Amino acid sequence: MTRSLFVVCAAFLYLSPIHAQITFTEHPIATNYNNPWYVFGIDIDGDTDTDAVASGRLGHCLSWWENIDNVNFIRHDISTTSYYAMGVHAVNIDDDNDVDVLCASQTYGVELWENDGTQTFIRHVIASWGYANRLDVEDVDSDGDPDVLAVCCEALSPMVGWIENEGNLVFTPHVVKDNWDNVNCVYAIDLDDDDDVDILASASGAGDISWFENDGEEVFTEHVILHTTARPSSVYGDDIDSDGDNDVLATICGLDQVVWFANDGNESFTSYLIGSSFFRPHMVRSTDIDDDGDIDVVAAAINSNEIAWWENDGNIPIQWTKHVITNAFTGATGIDIKDVDSDGDFDVLGAAQFANSIRWWESDLNPGINEGEVDYPPMVDFGPTIISGQLKLPEGKNCILYDITGRQVEPLSLKPGIYFIKYDEQIVRKIVRIK
């Protein structure tokens, strides 16, 4: 498939053929990190490349690895006392133009590690929720700052909740549902298309995948998507079938399956199989891996020692083709999808609890857009290069936004992916939206 060409002043982009066949090349980040559970890719030090943040559950560590040249990474420990550290996330939570780190410690609860701007981190426990397990970040109350979502899996009262960011490092925890046996995953997404943030979660002991409808005032009503004895182990949300509403992805541990639930637009969900014989699946994510305009799926399975992606053929019904990224990553547990080497395609990061290893896999996809020289005009703030929410373009400036294929898009309707800002007849900024 050949796409049209457009040229912009001295900073030019050109389009080239896209090939569905992708090879992933493995690169180590850490090879002796005690029981890594999750990994998250983000530019921690503000040097425009993708670093890695990860938790070491049995090492009680929270660390970040500085990306030197996409091959060499230098470890920096944020904490060695985050006991039974599990979920991690990173975001500028205090609006001070640097990246802070969040950690789910099963002992302390939800920790915020505030970055002082020099990558020295200060701990704040923002919710004393024992057995905190997984995290997500989104502006739940639509007040312009990021809030934190968390689940507590093995507590006496297992629960899902959100932690309201009041500003000035003041946080207020809110429980959405408690006494929910082995609740193990949470993801924030607008499932009913009413412009507020709903909550999607799974609970393996209770056997539920549920979404919690936000009434716009942060009062949540539970709707069960699936009830099963087969132990759901993770959830995620995306518009899988490209019909304009958000669907649900899940892993079902007891069936060794990756599945998705199609939203009919009225929040009635129909389940479809993506992949099976994927033993003890633990985490699922999605993005357009092969840059063909539809949403593919990536997942990790502990007992298969495997990270794989499933190619969406773009048809209805969707036909999925499995591609193994690795099947020798012992205890594959956590994954993230980011452009680690800044070459315009999506790479995959992984954490393997039994291999004590954190690695990334480089995609060799020839990107639809290759970047020439990018000219940054003075005195215009185009915001961060990596975003997890709404893109805010400079007010009063004539900016145009393009996706990686060269199509003009609207800033309010961005899906996860790579975008370019055109200003004053120049391409001035590359933006990566991660969720």
Amino acid 368: pLDDT = 43
151-162 confidence digits (pLDDT tens): 999 878 899 999
79-103 confidence digits (pLDDT tens): 999 999 999 999 999 999 999 999 9
Two tokens at 406?
């060269």
d(CA 262, CA 308): 21
- Taking alpha carbons only, the member of 140, 96, 134 closest to residue 115 is 96
Gap between the terminal Cα atoms of the chain: 27
d(CA 186, CA 149): 7
- Taking alpha carbons only, the member of 165, 162, 209, 163 closest to residue 185 is 209
Q: From first to last of its 435 residues, what are the pLDDT tens digits of the chain?
A: 333 322 233 333 333 334 358 999 999 999 999 999 999 999 999 999 999 999 999 999 999 999 999 999 999 999 999 999 999 999 999 999 999 999 999 999 999 999 999 999 999 999 999 999 999 999 999 999 999 999 999 878 899 999 999 999 999 999 999 999 999 999 999 999 999 999 999 999 999 999 999 999 999 999 999 999 999 999 999 999 999 999 999 999 999 999 999 999 999 999 999 999 999 999 999 999 999 999 999 999 999 999 999 999 999 999 999 999 999 999 999 999 999 999 989 999 999 999 999 999 999 985 544 444 444 455 566 666 677 667 777 776 678 887 766 667 777 667 777 788 887 767 777 787 766
d(CA 115, CA 123): 9
Two tokens at 231?
């132990």
Amino acid 380: pLDDT = 61
Two tokens at 430?
């590359």
Amino acid 372: pLDDT = 46
d(CA 266, CA 27): 43
- 332 and 282 Cβ atoms separated by less than 8 Å: yes
Which contiguous run of DSSP H or E holds residue 245? Answer: none
CA distances from 107 to 130, 361, 387 (A): 6, 32, 30
pTM of structure: 0.82
Sign of the Cα pseudo-torsion (414, 418, 420, 421, in order): positive
3-state helix, strand, coil in the chain (%, to 5): 0, 50, 45
Two tokens at 161?
């909740």
Amino acid 3: pLDDT = 31
User: For every residue of 387-404, which 3-state class applies, written as one string?
Assistant: ECCCCCCCCCCCEEEEEC
- 332 and 307 Cβ atoms separated by less than 8 Å: yes
- 297 and 284 Cβ atoms separated by less than 8 Å: yes
